[in-house]
Amino acid sequence: MAITIIIMGSIVTNIALSQSISSFHYIKSSDSTLVFKSNGHFLHQSLVKSFASINPLTISKVSNTTDKIVMLTFGDTYKSQVVNAMPILDKYGYKGNFFVTCLWVGSHIYGMPRLTWQDVSTLQKDGQNIGSKTMTHKAMTHLSPIALNYEVAGSKKCLANHGINATTFATTHGNERDNATIINEIAKYYDFAVNGFGSLMFLHCNGYSRYSSQTDCRTYFDNGSLTFVNRYSIREWSHNNRDKALSHNDSKIFDTFVNEVNSQEKYNKPNTILAVPIVAYHSIDNNKTSDSTDLDLFAQEMQYLHDNHVGVLTLNDLGYDTKNNVFYIKPHSTFGNGPMR
């Protein structure tokens, strides 16, 4: 027996009914109001006897009205992120990833106002994903084991003390991806880490043939060496690199942003997402510093995503299939003004 089902608005066809339902918050059939829950309970027992367990790789192949998705990160705890960026994100219902450096909270380090703990709470209550970016923002590559643990584990505890369960981490400079000591320490405490730069993040980690022979996202090759990209070295595209290189020429920067967003087209299909650009911001202001993106430009970019039906997800919308060693987009993920369709 087979039916067509809808998972949070996304259609998956010809799924055989079998025994269990292990992966989903709820599922509705297309021809009946049949709702399953993650413990296997369903509301209309007369309709079916059971439901097949589904591999997460299958769930990546859902029918969406968009084949473009982006993720947005905000680093270094700038006050402008809550004052300037959040209202623009809220206009479109977008959620970003805000990486907090604990001992920078409430400070004016380097002469720039940083988020307060009240600001961090505001972001959290707004549904933004709060992650960790160490305790002190020190370069991580030459730390002692005790100091490294303080930066990685200490920052998780720090955020927990403020009611935040941080499952994502960002390294301080993005150059720690080939350091096994750092990778292993991060892996003890976090699900994922942003750690390195690249134009796209390939969900199966197989799009980096110029640099690596890997065909999946495992952390180590069989010979014990680190892979080029994995759960703890997720790649992001640095917006500030373009801000600086193009001398804050917003028209030119906008064009590069659009090109980056659309670079996923050759890899994605309407029902399958395999590559996602992760766009990294810091301060959203008009100071034209090395860490800032102009406010009007940021607003223009978010409007572009909205007008062109580009989905905006957070790192919390990623899952990891430990059997096949690949990322996948969780079936209940939502973006913009509503669920993935």
Nearest-angstrom CA–CA distance, 294 and 9: 36
According to DSSP, the β-strands at 97-100 and 129-132 are parallel
Cα of first residue to Cα of last residue in the chain, in angstroms, is: 25
Are 159 and 152 within 8 A, CB to CB?
no
- In 3D, which of 280, 335, 275 has the Cα closest to residue 308? 335
pTM over 0.85: no
Nearest-angstrom CA–CA distance, 119 and 74: 14
According to DSSP, the β-strands at 292-293 and 283-284 are parallel
Are 234 and 327 within 8 A, CB to CB?
no
Nearest-angstrom CA–CA distance, 68 and 308: 9
Q: CA-CA-CA-CA torsion for 153, 158, 163, 168, nearest 10 degrees?
A: -40
Helix (H) / strand (E) element for 56: namely helix 56-59
Are 115 and 107 within 8 A, CB to CB?
no
Q: Which amino acid is at 211?
A: Y
Domain locations along the chain: 2-54, 69-339
Are 25 and 301 within 8 A, CB to CB?
no
Say which residue the tokens 């390939």 belong to: 202
Say which residue the tokens 């680190």 belong to: 226
Helix (H) / strand (E) element for 258: namely helix 250-262
Nearest-angstrom CA–CA distance, 31 and 320: 31
Nearest-angstrom CA–CA distance, 131 and 142: 23
Per-residue pLDDT tens listing for the chain (341 residues)? 333 333 333 333 333 333 233 333 333 333 333 333 333 333 333 323 333 333 434 334 433 456 899 999 999 999 999 999 999 999 999 999 999 999 999 999 999 999 999 999 999 999 999 999 999 999 999 999 999 999 999 999 999 999 999 999 999 998 899 999 999 999 999 999 999 999 999 999 999 999 999 999 999 999 999 999 999 999 999 999 999 999 999 999 999 999 999 999 999 987 789 999 999 999 999 999 999 999 999 999 999 999 999 999 999 999 999 999 999 999 866 666 443 43
What sign does the CA torsion over 320, 324, 326, 329 have?
negative
Superfamily of domain 69-339 in CATH is: Glycoside hydrolase/deacetylase (3.20.20.370)
